[in-house]
């Protein structure tokens, strides 16, 4: 007993998900860069597509990010005309962020790129295993209160 395996730490879920997450995010960043975006920009587009228009503060909470960061993300997306920034007439402190057609198209392209990445990642898995993995990760993500 008490025979601790040397690889115990790297065999941990926390370590595996962490390192895999970093790897995957790097690759996703490359693809997003081809469209002039960072990963978080795509996160904004996805949030707006998934939850509809919202204020910057709502978005900040959803993305678990400082409100000041949303400013710069929205700035860039607005410049690209991927989103519209409208003062909420009912509360003129709020900026209502809304996806444009351009933004939707951009998101679709990034989604396509992400799917291609998925295919690559799961190349060693059969269809059933892949579906299982997706389902289990979705469950864990949901339990942690992550979007979608």
**Binding footprint of its own copies on the chain (CB under 8 A):** 4, 6-25, 27-28, 39, 42-43, 45-47, 49-50, 64, 107-108, 110-111, 114-115, 117-118, 121-125, 129, 132-134, 136-144, 146-148
Q: Is 130 in the site for DNA (CB under 7 A)?
A: no
Q: Which of 59, 62, 84, 79 is nearest to 70 (CA)?
A: 59
Q: Of residues 75, 108, 112, 119, which one binds DNA by CB under 7 A?
A: 75
Q: Of residues 6, 13, 14, 93, which one binds DNA by CB under 7 A?
A: 93
CB-facing half-sphere around the CA of 45: CA atoms within 13 A: 27
Place of tokens 């941990």: 12
* Residue 53 per-residue DSSP state: S
Contact partner at residue 68 from DNA, its own copies, none, CB < 5 to 8 Å by partner kind = DNA
- Do residues 107 and 45 make contact, with C-beta atoms less than 8 angstroms apart? yes
Q: Is 42 in the site for DNA (CB under 7 A)?
A: no
Q: Is 14 in the site for DNA (CB under 7 A)?
A: no
Q: Of residues 35, 40, 104, 130, which one binds DNA by CB under 7 A?
A: 40
Q: Is 21 in the site for DNA (CB under 7 A)?
A: no
Least spacing, CB of residue 93 vs its own copies, in Å? 27
Distance CA 104, CA 116 (A): 18
147 contacts: CB under 8 Å, gap ≥ 6? 46, 47, 50, 51, 62
Contact partner at residue 85 from its own copies, DNA, none, CB < 5 to 8 Å by partner kind = DNA
* Residue 2 per-residue DSSP state: -
């Amino acid at each position: 007993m008490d025979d601790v395996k040397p690889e115990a730490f790297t065999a941990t879920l926390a370590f595996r998900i962490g390192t895999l997450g970093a790897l995957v995010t790097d690759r996703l960043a490359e693809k997003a860069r081809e469209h002039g975006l960072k990963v978080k920009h795509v996160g904004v587009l996805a949030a707006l597509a998934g939850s509809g228009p919202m204020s910057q503060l709502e978005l900040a909470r959803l993305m678990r990010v400082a409100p000041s960061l949303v400013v710069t993300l929205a700035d860039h997306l607005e410049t690209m005309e991927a989103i519209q920034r409208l003062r909420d007439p009912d509360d003129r402190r709020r900026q209502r962020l809304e996806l444009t057609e351009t933004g939707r198209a951009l998101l679709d392209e990034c989604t396509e790129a992400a799917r291609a990445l998925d295919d690559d990642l799961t190349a060693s898995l059969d269809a059933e295993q892949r579906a299982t993995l997706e389902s289990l990760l979705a469950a864990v993500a949901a339990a942690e209160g992550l979007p979608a």
